[in-house]
Amino acid sequence: MGKQFSEIQRDHMDFIRKQHLFFVSTAPLSADGHVNVSPKGYDTLRILSSTEAAYLDLTGSGNETSGHIEENGRITFMFCAFEGPPQILRLYGTGNVILPDSEDWDTYIKHFDLLPGTRQIITAKIHRVSTSCGYSIPFMDYAGERETLNISNTKKAPMLENYRREKNAKTIDGMDTTIGKNMRS
């Protein structure tokens, strides 16, 4: 039976810390726009308080989360138990994008180990937490992190700004992302 909470409880924090994978979902307001769901790995998520979460966002093939947050702020995190008792946990919130040249950068980056290709920090003020059974989620064994993204971003380091300008400045629906807006200013 699903339950709802107005903040992240201690047992939720414990559950989240055990997960090796989480998902981030955002969507534009337009019914024609694409919903985005992104899997996230590495040690990039932090629960900062019972009402705030943040993750270190790395350079990748797109930047949908940033564009959607800029437009409407909506963000949802989802965690699934792939081992142990079944559970799904979702955090619903209002997101904010923090770029390295932002005045808030130093406040948030101290919570993370800098990884190759660090692009931005996504924060969220959480207003709803929900849990559900997760009975249909399969058991899966954690075998370790893939280092492919870190290796790729390390190799691209001298060209990351150009890559971001080319691949991360707009969403697939043509909306400006925070990086795209920042490059125009």
pLDDT tens string 137-161: 999 999 999 999 999 999 999 999 9
Of the listed ranges 22-26, 29-33, 44-48, 72-76, the least confidently predicted one is 29-33
Domain covering 3-184 assigned CATH 1.10.357.10 in the classification: no
Any idea what the Cα angle at residue 56 is, between residues 52 and 57, rounded to 5°?
120
Q: Which is nearest to 140 in space by CA: 86, 185, 100, 178?
A: 86
Cβ 164 vs Cβ 177: under 8 Å: no
Residue 84 binned pLDDT confidence (cut-offs 50, 70, 90): very high
The pLDDT score that the predictor gives to residue 182 is 72
The pLDDT score that the predictor gives to residue 179 is 83
Please say if the pLDDT value at position 164 is more than 60: yes
Please say if the pLDDT value at position 17 is more than 60: yes
Please say if the pLDDT value at position 183 is more than 80: no
Q: Tell me what the mean pLDDT of segment 25-43 comes to.
A: 96
Please say if the pLDDT value at position 184 is more than 80: no
Residue 180 binned pLDDT confidence (cut-offs 50, 70, 90): confident
Q: Tell me what the mean pLDDT of segment 64-88 comes to.
A: 97
Instruction: Please state the domain extents for the chain.
Output: 3-184
For CA atoms 139, 141, 142, 148, give the dihedral sign. Answer: negative
Beta bridge partners of 170: 176
Please say if the pLDDT value at position 162 is more than 70: yes
Beta bridge partners of 40: 22
**What is the residue-averaged pLDDT of the chain?**
95
